[in-house]
A = this chain, B = another copy of it.
């Protein structure tokens, strides 16, 4: 085992919150640990008899691991072909039937008598075993005694991390734009965000160093941050993905300033790769990638750099199986894992047994290789969606690419239109007093989101209304035209505390959920709304 060659986690117990320190082992649960012994009769727990559970057998029709192809061949750029090809690779015959009986046929079988019973908050042993193998082989933690522990999804995991690591009055490091629920979890507990500037790869390591090295406790009114919240892949909301080098720089800063990194990574397997505009995409299908090639193609997790045990990684099945699983896991040092387990005992207990039954039997059916194969298929589906979405922007706007040192940025202009509607382009365009990009974006290489920066500075009412007012008005105009998009202020970490007008304005658009034709329709509506908003005269 590689583990034995790696160092153990260093002592990070000084990071535990007062609440976490005050937790004791639930005495009834302690007793429950004896329950597995075959020579003991237990009259200790208040457990119903499993014969009285009304569910005798649970079964599920599920996709096979290879229900979706790993690469989708390119097609001509017609909408019809997109729609007809939608999920074209899915073979309707590729089904498996899972069955979970009330009682196991042989020892180790997944069964309802156990999963629907009160259980340890560590969850089903079969699921634990799978997760342990998966974490070891995919994320390759750089220390020896890492632990895994199930939770009820990353929102639950983050809440447990906050309560275990932070005291009221503490501050946490976040990206300049961040997932609002993460802030909403910490805020009522008296814990405030410190936004760190970002670029196309997410959090900037130089900006982080600046904040940590110049921290003035008196001026800031809080101790130097000890905890960082980060979504390093397909960041929410910006879609940015951080590569190994940047992660190394940030990890080094965190070692120097003793910061715990909470890596919330739901989009890790949706690494779609660089966007190539439709006209430049190769017309041949790529060769199928094998599992090893797929895993090697993914940016490394912070875990793979973590030789000290200061990363709390949050994984979830929400994007890889379904959000309704409410099931995920921590990977972290054993001290934190034990405190999370204690917290679980007095809140969520074990994750739902029905969910565990389906997920565990699905994973045991697929096995490690099958699940990785499934993730490949999923990545290809999201790549197709990302491509389609950005292609639609190309169709409805004039997109111009420019590059910074590391990333391409696309500027979107309102399309020039022929004066006379015509089937072919003419040289006679609508006259515009001023041509300027109405938005710009970095094409996401992972995840579900496009983060549009809106160029309100060129709006005729900018001087009077400013960024935030224009953002709110544009949100309303989109909604009235029938399209709901998340406005940038939702993702401002300090939204809850102040209402400054610092720009620029943004919208987060998700390409993950709507059907392709609807997505295309929505982007068309956006083009109409944006044209009227910027060129329709001062109606605001």
Contact = CB atoms under 8 A, between A and B. Distances in A.
B323 A352 contact: no
Contact of A156 (B55, B59, B61, B347): B347
A152 B52 CA distance: 21
A52 B378 contact: yes
A46 B236 contact: yes
Contacts of A188: 19-24
A144 interface: no
B46 A56 contact: no
A48 B326 contact: no
Contact of A354 (B87, B156, B180, B324): B324
Nearest to A515: B49
B181 A345 contact: yes
A52 B381 contact: yes
A482 B47 CA distance: 18
A119 interface: yes
A348 interface: yes
Contacts of A156: 347-349
A535 B440 CA distance: 87
A57 B513 CA distance: 20
Contact of A482 (B40, B349, B484): B40
A53 interface: yes
Contact of A324 (B42, B117, B495): B117
Contact of A60 (B58, B180, B512): B58
Looking at A61, A483, A515, which has the most chain B CB atoms within 10 Å of its CB?
A61
Contact of A448 (B46, B53, B357, B362): B46
A44 interface: yes
Given A34-B484, A495-B27, A117 B323 contact: yes
A67 interface: yes
Interface in A48-78: 48-63, 67
A374 interface: yes
Interface residues of A, number: 113
A496 interface: yes
A334 to B, nearest CB: 19
Contact of A48 (B189, B322, B348): B322
Given A190-B22, A479-B34, A522-B41, A46 B512 contact: yes
A399 to B, nearest CB: 18
A509 B41 CA distance: 11
A511 interface: yes
Looking at A48, A115, A117, A349, which has the most chain B CB atoms within 10 Å of its CB?
A48
Contact of A349 (B53, B189, B326, B385): B326
A62 B55 contact: yes
A349 B519 CA distance: 27
Contact of A449 (B46, B115, B495, B510): B46
Interface in A495-521: 495-496, 508-515, 518-519, 521
Contacts of A324: 112, 115-119, 350, 352-354, 356
B22 A187 contact: yes
A47 B46 CA distance: 39
Nearest to A17: B188
B355 A514 contact: no
A345 B233 CA distance: 23
Nearest to A512: B48
A146 B287 CA distance: 61
Contact of A47 (B24, B323, B508): B323
A496 B62 contact: no
A103 interface: no
A28 interface: yes
A181 B52 CA distance: 24
Given A155-B348, A354-B357, 11 more contacts: A19-B188, A41-B514, A49-B514, A54-B321, A116-B323, A117-B322, A118-B324, A119-B324, A184-B346, A352-B354, A354-B354
14 contacts: A34-B479, A41-B525, A43-B510, A47-B513, A48-B322, A49-B385, A49-B514, A54-B322, A54-B374, A56-B61, A322-B353, A326-B349, A326-B350, A352-B355
Interface of A: 19-24, 26-29, 31, 34-35, 39-63, 67, 87, 95, 112, 115-119, 152-153, 155-156, 159, 180-181, 184-185, 187-190, 236, 318-319, 321-327, 345-358, 362, 374, 378, 381, 385, 448-449, 479, 482-486, 490, 495-496, 508-515, 518-519, 521-522, 525
8 nearest CB pairs, A to B: A324-B353, A352-B352, A116-B324, A116-B322, A22-B188, A185-B346, A47-B513, A352-B355
